[in-house]
């Protein structure tokens, strides 16, 4: 009998927290606790994660977090994510609260100062994709570069249960390049949400054309003499930013993941956790858990 491979759910905690916060705050719903602290993002994050567990039915899971706004990418480029507004004051206390709730439920949490959640997720994919199937829940298209056989990305859509799911086969069909070459595309086009420009005048179609023909940024640079004068000029003038953008776009997958895969086994939602949640005013999490899981 062939033993079934583990299935790891990797959750982009900050992406779910932000999405949950803005989905409810737009209607003026903050669900303050007894101390008057908003909990809408925290409760939405937990409910979203629980629903993902019920849909994808993982055997193991981890929640990955950004740990502060400053990362090594800010050291590379001052403008990295500099265009993003400061988080609303109602959201700020919920950053720590979300991690605390996640730990209280028993989910395995990871965060490294100076690195992004993307880098942790990428390192976990590199560490475990040979021995487990992996589903990543996020809203961040940067993670497309992590696709490979056995790894899928579930992008959040509407509500708690609608996802746009990408596999490496779907990516290849839509983009005509391999997932790892998504880094090369972003080097040329930049990323407006992350605040780096790529090469001025090189759009997605041109970038894909160049990558399909030459493979990498370095391959394009070596073949500059073969390009049209206009493209060659744009790339030569934007060379420094092109090379920098590639560094900013690449997810770093070499962080050490010291835990064994057994550390990520799904916890049992028990009466103690239920009571703690109820005492702290997380009534929506309690209701969600009781509708999805059998309480022990």
Tell me whether residue 243 is in a domain.
yes
How confident is the model at residue 12, as a pLDDT? Answer: 98
Sheet holding 151-156, edge to edge: 108-110, 60-64, 7-12, 133-138, 151-156, 163-166
Query: In the prediction, which pLDDT does 293 show?
Result: 63
Based on the fold, state whether residues 120 and 266 are members of the same structural domain: yes
Confidence category of residue 275, pLDDT binned at 50, 70, 90:
confident
Residues 170-184 have pLDDT tens digits of 999 999 999 999 999
pLDDT at 294 > cutoff 60? no
Shared domain for 201 and 232, answered yes or no, is yes
Residue 219: CATH number of its domain: 1.10.150.20
Residues 99-108 pLDDT 10s:
999 999 999 9
Alpha carbon distances (Å) from 8 to 56, 186, 205: 9, 27, 34
The answer to whether position 163 is within a domain reads yes
The parent domain of residue 270 ranges over 7-167+252-292
DSSP for the chain, written as a single string: -PPPPPEEEEEEHHHHHHHHHHHHHTTT-----TTS---HHHHHHHHHHHHHHHHH--SEEEEE---SS-BHHHHH-TTTTTTSPPPPTTTTTHHHHHHHHHHHHT-EEE--TBS-HHHHHHHHHHHHTTTSEEEEEES-GGGGGG-BTTEEEEEE-STTT-EEEE-HHHHHHHHSS-GGGHHHHHHHH-BTTTTB--STT--HHHHHHHHHHH-SHHHHHHTGGGS-HHHHHHHHHTHHHHHHHHHHHSPP------S-GGGGBPPP--HHHHHHHHHTT-HHHHHHHHHHS---
- Within-domain flag for 2: no
List pLDDT tens digits, range 119-146. 999 999 999 999 999 999 999 999 999 9
For a pLDDT cut of 90, what percent of the chain falls above it? 87
Question: Is residue 203 a part of any domain in this protein?
Answer: yes
Q: CATH no. for residue 119? A: 3.40.50.1010
Distances (CA, A) of 180 to 19, 160, 183, 186, 222: 27, 29, 6, 11, 20
Whether residue 153 sits in one domain with residue 234: no
Structurally, the chain folds into a number of domains equal to: 2
Query: How confident is the model over 30-35, as a mean pLDDT?
Result: 94
- Both 242 and 270 in one domain: the answer is no
- Structural domain contains residue 90: yes
Average pLDDT over residues 81-95: 94
Same-domain check for residues 131 and 28: yes
Residue 1, in any domain of the structure: no
């Amino acid at each position: 009998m062939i033993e079934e491979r583990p299935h790891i759910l990797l959750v982009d905690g900050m992406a779910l927290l932000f999405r949950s916060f803005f989905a409810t705050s737009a209607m003026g719903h903050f669900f303050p606790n007894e101390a008057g602290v908003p909990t809408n993002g925290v409760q939405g994050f937990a409910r979203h994660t629980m629903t993902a567990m019920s849909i994808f039915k993982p055997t193991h899971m981890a929640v990955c977090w950004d740990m502060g706004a400053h990362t090594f990418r800010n050291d590379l480029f001052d403008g990295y994510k500099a265009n993003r507004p400061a988080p609303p004051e109602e959201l700020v206390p919920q950053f720590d609260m979300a991690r605390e709730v996640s730990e209280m439920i028993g989910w395995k949490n990871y965060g490294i100062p100076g690195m992004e959640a993307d880098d942790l997720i990428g390192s976990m994919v590199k560490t475990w994709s040979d021995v487990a199937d992996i589903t990543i829940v996020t809203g961040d298209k940067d993670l497309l570069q992590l696709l490979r056989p056995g790894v899928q990305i579930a992008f959040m859509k509407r509500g708690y249960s609608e996802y746009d799911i990408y596999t490496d086969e779907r990516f290849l069909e839509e983009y005509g390049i391999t997932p790892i070459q998504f880094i090369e595309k972003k080097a040329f086009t930049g990323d407006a949400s992350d605040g780096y420009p790529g090469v001025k005048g090189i759009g997605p179609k041109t970038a894909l054309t160049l990558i399909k023909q030459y493979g990498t940024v370095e391959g394009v640079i070596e073949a500059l003499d073969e390009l049209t004068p206009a493209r060659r000029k744009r790339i030569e003038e934007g060379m420094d930013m092109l090379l920098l953008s590639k560094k900013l776009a690449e997810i770093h997958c070499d962080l050490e993941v010291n835990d064994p895969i057994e550390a990520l086994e799904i916890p049992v939602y028990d009466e103690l956790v239920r009571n703690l949640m109820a005492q702290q005013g997380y009534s929506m999490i309690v209701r969600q858990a009781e509708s999805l899981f059998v309480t022990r």
